[in-house]
Amino acid sequence: MKIRLWCASFAITAVAATAACGNGDSGSSESGGGGGGGDAKTLTYWASNQGATLDVDKQVLGKELAKFTQQTGVKVKLEVIGWPDLQNRILAATSSGQGPDVLNIGNTWAASLQSTGAFMPFDKAALDAIGGQSKFVDASFKTSGMEGKDPTSVPLYGLVYGLYYNKKMFADAGLQPPTTWEELQAAAKKLTDAGKGTYGMAMEGGSYTESIHFAFIFGQQHGADPFTKDGKPQFTTPGMVAGVKQYVDLMSDGVVNKSSVQYKNGPEAPGDFAKGKAAMLMSQNNADNTLQADGMKSSDYGVVAIPTKSGNKDTASFVAGINMSVFKDTKNKDGALKLVKFMTSPEEQAILDKPFTALPVVKGGTVNFTDNPAEAKTFADILATKSVPLPLVPAEAAYETNVGNAVNGLLAKAATGQKPSEADIKSALQEAQDKMASAG
Amino acid sequence: MREPVSFRVFRWVVVLVLGAFTLIPLYVLLSSSLKPLGEVQGEFRWWPEHPTFRPFVDIWSTVPLARYFANSLVVCLVATLFSVLIAIFAAYAVSRYRFRGRSLFSGAVLSTQMIPGILFLLPLFLIFVNLDKTLGTTVFYQTRVGLIVMYMTFSLPFAIWMLAGYLDGIPRDLDEAARVDGCSAVGALFRVVLPAARPGVVAVAVYAFMTAWGEILFASQMTNTETRTLSIGLQSYSTQINVYWNQVMAASLVVSLPIVLVFLLLQRYLVAGLTAGAVK
Amino acid sequence: MSVDTVETPAAGSTAAAPAPSRPRRRGRRVTPYLLVLPAVVLELLVHIVPMLVGIWMSFVRLTQFFIANWSQAPSAGLDNYKVALDFSGPLGKSLLHSFGVTLAYTVLVVGVAWLFGMSGALVLHRSFRGRGFLRTLFLVPYAMPIYAGIMTWSFIFQRDNGLMNHLVKSLGLGDGESFWLVGNNAFASMAIVAIWRAWPFAFLMLLAGLQNVPDEVYDAASVDGAGIWKQVRYITLPYLRPVNVVLVLMLFLWTFNDFNTPFVLFGPTPPRSADLMSIHIYGNSFVSWNFGFGAAMSVLLLLFLLVVTGLYLFLTSRRSRRA
């Protein structure tokens, strides 16, 4: 007994001691970078969670990657990572240089992650190796990195926002799907019956990512860019303020259930829409998954582009989606590029877009995740003609949190009965901008 | 002693206020876990209209609760074991020896309690990640081993302090006698002192286990899908396609029951250990 | 189940300082060091070294541009601290706000938790019907895993389906449509949850402390004709002093560093009114990827705690020496 205890304690001491030593020299050996989890023959691939569950993704991708191994002889070790983990894992990989060979990133992070210098730039040769820049849908490819630099990611799955509307509720009220923002507001008002608990619009009002997306989209409609040409934040321009106001006013006007400021996990707003508690929902096309899981059929809802105030710019979405990057330290650049080429090939896109409710990011693809042709056409049009990328500046991630949280605060204010004025909005945005500036 | 009216009134007020304050959330927890999803989504009702045990069945399939449970159990048990063992050695040294650095050691150990977790979360993250890089394989970052190493250290300072206080109260003659009989220092510790200090050891074990079982901050950064423990895993009921409040309550109940029972069974030891430390 | 079945040896013991063991052999001099070695190594690995690294981080510009190569991050000098302490700048202002919220939260939670714990201990120290049940019940919130308790409260505070609004409405105190987890109410909600969780610990410690007050003192006092309240004032409280010193310090440190309550109630970005220091720093580091700045704020937090704790221990020990 006694001896065993001593052994155990020494074992743990030994582990801890080597650990402490390891720490000592890790600082100096930093820049070398081990990189590439796998050996030269096997690639490690971190896939983001796109389907209903991690297991679904594992099955779908496992099957496709087996094909890839058959075609190229390159083995792939797949790990599907849930969204709450992905950013931390990338952060850890970046700060240690110990990452996968190939990974998925949310495309809005493209520039922020590019600035860490941990990803391989796709130069002309690399782009040619994966089939050339020209194979990608132009709008999607714009998200691949900062302007004027070799991109560090290429598009993989396309997503855009659309306005979902409940066909039956609209028909019962004798309404047509809105084509202008004014029509949307009028319809929302008409469809709201707070007494019965039904509202015109569903909203994920506690989610800072949703808030920043709409602040951006509506700001764009008013012709406002959040950053100057040289990457300085300019959040308080009249257009930016008007854009935020357009979104927050939905709450102030009472056409959104006030409780939605508590929604922040993602499924709540689509849930309200699916249950007929809200007649409209502004969401990315992968909402189809949630809506159908909640019991809606694709014929129960229609989708149109998010409308704009009469006379404003016709931007209905930003180019959302998932990009693919290669870690700079990979020991198998060839294999990694082959995998990127494979995943972005028209054949694979056609297969993967279905379970992942994604839009094709290569030219000539068709939207196949829905059996509703009108919906398919709408989303394809929005991506091709009505979408702009989020700002491709290193500070994008900080912009998302600071402005997103500011808008959330305004929504909370609106829900608790103090309608935020233009001055309120401006000062909230000013604060967000100041935070960006002094964080430097 | 005779109790004046004022004290009886005071007792009633205290019992009512504190009783309700404690009991109501526990009641909500229990009653909501027995409701179907529809009932927890509507306005609050005191009684389940259609009581059901379904939530207790569904919790295991909605999220991989069994895996979180197993992770928590393994991590917490191993961390507790080592924490207690290491604390026993250290407390014995502090209580029975006068050595250079003794007060520095006890002072420094206790003052680590003051360090805000957030200060060493980021560095520990970098250290673990870079250790793994040096070792060439994942040993610490987002693994059970990493969690165990952290959790056994988190409870260590308080455990040492509590145990040292307890050992101080055990007559020195006891181990001196054992030493005269030819025991080594460690022999005396295990044969004579520890049996006498059993309540203190149990108290420390309960404390260490509870500390690990409820830890959230480090688990939020230092676990992944595979190694996720209950503290973060339980929150995933709200990120499914529905917010399953009935299942959240059922799962909370399930993960609470074992530890609450163990605690209530062993609380007298904890009290003894706490007092020994506090009045030292 | 009873607290008093276990003797508490330290209470009766007179051995305040450990008697020195005379070193007879060289081995004996090494033994204590061997005994504390595992603890020292672990403390170094998990607490001390990371703390030092954290202090180093606070002096460098560790942003997204340098995390891939963090040992090469350029020195920031005192810039991170200057930004944090520039209370006219937005980041300093929000840190100051967070500090104020945390201070108010700590005072409220520690104060009420102590009051509840003391009242509960005073009442349950004397025997009456139902005492055993109540004692067990009171300990449950503390025994439950933190997150389970907080999630229960989070459900109670939901706007549409929570108990809180239901109570407010049925008691006629309001329309039952308030937000408890959004806006200014969030602070009160968070404090209620923390008190619910913390007071049983105070209760546990104080009840144990009460059992160490010798009965003879009370007996002597009642012979002198002192009523029950006088006894509490002049006997119980002074006797509990050592327990209180430790208890209040522990509650203070736990509450001031509290991360769990806001994180489980609100997620990584709580409402302004509930923006406690720990989660404020967490958000600024992990959500905004500005680790140097986050580290600087953490160091400031640590310094504050050090000063307060040092001052507290100095004052309490001086008073007890005089007493």
Q: Which of A39-53, A101-115, B47-61, C1-15 has the lowest mean pLDDT?
A: C1-15
Same domain, A416 and A306: yes
* Chain A / chain C CB contacts < 8 angstroms: 112
Domain membership of residue A81 (yes or no) is yes
Q: Is the pLDDT of residue B95 over 50?
A: yes
Q: What pLDDT is attached to residue A407?
A: 93
Instruction: Count CB-CB contacts under 10 A for residue A64.
Output: 17
Judge if ipTM > 0.85. Answer: yes
pTM here is: 0.85
Residue of B nearest to A49 (CA): B225
Domain membership of residue A34 (yes or no) is no
> Could you list the residue range(s) of the whole structural domain that residue B258 is in?
60-278
Residues in chain B: 280
Q: Is the pLDDT of residue A3 over 50?
A: no
* A244 vs C69, higher pLDDT: A244
Q: What pLDDT is attached to residue C277?
A: 93
Q: Is the pLDDT of residue B113 over 50?
A: yes
User: Is residue C171 classed as helix, strand or coil in its secondary structure?
Assistant: coil
CB contact under 8 A, A26 and B133: yes
CB contact under 8 A, C69 and A30: yes
Each residue's pLDDT tens digit, A251-277:
998 899 888 888 877 778 888 898 888
Q: What pLDDT is attached to residue C120?
A: 94
Mean pLDDT of C64-72: 73
Q: What pLDDT is attached to residue B195?
A: 85
Q: Is the pLDDT of residue B219 over 70?
A: yes
CB contact under 8 A, C38 and A9: yes
Mean pLDDT of A295-316: 87
Predicted confidence band of residue A440 (pLDDT cuts 50, 70, 90): low
Q: What pLDDT is attached to residue C20?
A: 47
Same domain, A297 and A350: no
**CATH number of the domain bearing residue A342:** 3.40.190.10
Domain membership of residue B213 (yes or no) is yes
Each residue's pLDDT tens digit, B16-37:
999 999 999 999 999 999 999 8
Q: Give the span between the Cα atoms of A307 and A162, in whole angstroms.
A: 9
C301: left (phi over 0), alpha (psi -120 to 50) or beta: alpha
Domain membership of residue B1 (yes or no) is no
Domain membership of residue B43 (yes or no) is no
Q: Is the pLDDT of residue A50 over 50?
A: yes
Q: Give the span between the Cα atoms of A52 and B248, in whole angstroms.
A: 20
The partner residue sitting opposite B127, judged by closest CB among C50, C147, C285, is C50
Chain C segment 33-62 residues within 8 A of A by beta carbon are 37-38, 41-42, 44-45, 49, 61
For chain A, give the percent of residues with pLDDT over 90.
Answer: 19
Contacts of B121 (CB under 8 A, 6+ apart): B217, B218, B221, C282
Q: What pLDDT is attached to residue A6?
A: 40
Q: Is the pLDDT of residue A166 over 60?
A: yes
**CATH number of the domain bearing residue B96:** 1.10.3720.10
Mind spelling out the 3-state secondary structure of chain A? CHHHHHHHHHHHHHHHHHHHHHHHHHCCCHHHCCCCCCCCCEEEEEEECCCCCHHHHHHHHHHHHHHHHHHHCCEEEEEEECHHHHHHHHHHHHHHCCCCCEEEEEHHHHHHHHCCCCECCCCHHHHHHCCCHHHECHHHHHHHCCCCCCCCCEEEEEECEEEEEEHHHHHHCCCCCCCEHHHHHHHHHHHCECCCCEEEEECCCCCHHHHHHHHHHHHHHCCCCCECCCCCECCCCHHHHHHHHHHHHHHHCCCECHHHHHCCCCCHHHHHHHCCCEEEEEEECCHHHHHHHCCCCCCCEEEECCCECCCCCCCCEECEEEEEEEECCCCCHHHHHHHHHHHCCHHHHHHHCCCCCCECCECCCCCCCCCCHHHHHHHHHHHHHCEECCCCCCCHHHHHHHHHHHHHHHHHHHHCCCCCCHHHHHHHHHHHHHHHHHHC
* C120 vs C17, higher pLDDT: C120
Query: Was domain C31-322 assigned CATH 1.10.287.130?
Result: no
Q: Which of A40-54, B77-91, B194-208, C32-46 has the lowest mean pLDDT?
A: A40-54
**Average confidence score pLDDT of chain C:** 83
Q: What pLDDT is attached to residue A1?
A: 35
Q: Which residues of A touch B136 (CB under 8 A)?
A: 34
Q: What pLDDT is attached to residue A157?
A: 92
Residue A7 at interface with chain B, using a CB cutoff of 8 Å = no
Domain membership of residue A5 (yes or no) is no
**Average confidence score pLDDT of chain A:** 83
Q: What pLDDT is attached to residue C15?
A: 40
Domain membership of residue A403 (yes or no) is yes
Residue C189 at interface with chain B, using a CB cutoff of 8 Å = no
Mean pLDDT of A289-313: 86
Domain membership of residue A3 (yes or no) is no
Domain membership of residue B48 (yes or no) is no
Q: Which residue has the tokens 């389907």?
A: A51
CB contact under 8 A, A394 and C41: no
Q: Where are the domains of chain C?
A: 31-322
Same domain, A148 and A168: no
Most confidently modeled range among A142-146, A324-328, B93-97: A324-328
Residue of C nearest to B115 (CA): C302
Same domain, A417 and A430: yes
CB contact under 8 A, A97 and C45: no
Q: What pLDDT is attached to residue B275?
A: 66
Domain membership of residue B133 (yes or no) is yes
Q: What pLDDT is attached to residue B100?
A: 86
Domain membership of residue B16 (yes or no) is no
> Could you list the residue range(s) of the whole structural domain that residue A271 is in?
161-317+395-439
Predicted confidence band of residue C25 (pLDDT cuts 50, 70, 90): low
CB contact under 8 A, B264 and C36: no
Instruction: Count CB-CB contacts under 10 A for residue B13.
Output: 12
Residue A4 at interface with chain B, using a CB cutoff of 8 Å = no
Same domain, A140 and A50: yes
Q: Is the pLDDT of residue C33 over 80?
A: yes
Domain membership of residue B156 (yes or no) is yes
Q: Is the pLDDT of residue A29 over 50?
A: no
Mean pLDDT of B60-76: 90
Q: What pLDDT is attached to residue B277?
A: 59
Q: What pLDDT is attached to residue C300?
A: 93
- Looking at the 3D structure of chain A, how many domains does it have? 2
Rounded to the nearest angstrom, the minimum Cα separation between B226 and chain A is: 10
Q: What pLDDT is attached to residue C83?
A: 84
Q: Which residues of B touch C35 (CB under 8 A)?
A: 89-90, 92-93, 97, 185
* B150 vs A17, higher pLDDT: B150
Q: Is the pLDDT of residue B175 over 90?
A: no
CB contact under 8 A, B28 and C139: no
Domain membership of residue A259 (yes or no) is yes
**Cβ–Cβ < 8 Å for B96, B165:** no
Q: Is the pLDDT of residue A396 over 60?
A: yes
Same domain, A279 and A425: yes
Same domain, A302 and A324: no
C-alpha torsion sign, points B168, C6, B196, A10: negative
Chains that touch B (3 or more CB pairs under 8 A): A, C
Q: Which residues of B touch A294 (CB under 8 A)?
A: 241-242
Residue C64 at interface with chain A, using a CB cutoff of 8 Å = yes
Q: Is the pLDDT of residue A213 over 80?
A: yes
Domain membership of residue A337 (yes or no) is yes
Predicted confidence band of residue C173 (pLDDT cuts 50, 70, 90): confident
Q: Is the pLDDT of residue C3 over 80?
A: no
Domain membership of residue A36 (yes or no) is no
Q: Give the span between the Cα atoms of C293 and C284, in whole angstroms.
A: 8
Q: Which residues of C touch A31 (CB under 8 A)?
A: 69, 71-72
Chains that touch A (3 or more CB pairs under 8 A): B, C
Each residue's pLDDT tens digit, A331-359:
888 889 999 999 999 889 888 888 888 88
Q: What pLDDT is attached to residue A17?
A: 36
Q: Give the span between the Cα atoms of A93 and A90, in whole angstroms.
A: 5
Contacts of B198 (CB under 8 A, 6+ apart): none
Q: Which of C62, C137, C163, C317 is the best residue to mutate to test the B interface, defined by the most B CB atoms within 10 Å of its own CB? A: C163
Predicted confidence band of residue A35 (pLDDT cuts 50, 70, 90): very low
The partner residue sitting opposite B131, judged by closest CB among A9, A26, A271, is A26
Q: What pLDDT is attached to residue B2?
A: 65
Same domain, A308 and A259: yes
Q: Is the pLDDT of residue C130 over 80?
A: yes
CB contact under 8 A, C21 and B272: no
The partner residue sitting opposite A19, judged by closest CB among B89, B126, B131, is B131
The torsion angles phi and psi of C237, rounded to 5 degrees, stand at -60, -50
Q: Which of A176-190, B103-117, C20-34 has the lowest mean pLDDT?
A: C20-34
**Average confidence score pLDDT of chain B:** 86
How do A301-304 and A161-166 pair as beta strands? antiparallel
Each residue's pLDDT tens digit, A354-372:
888 888 888 888 888 888 8
- Looking at the 3D structure of chain B, how many domains does it have? 1
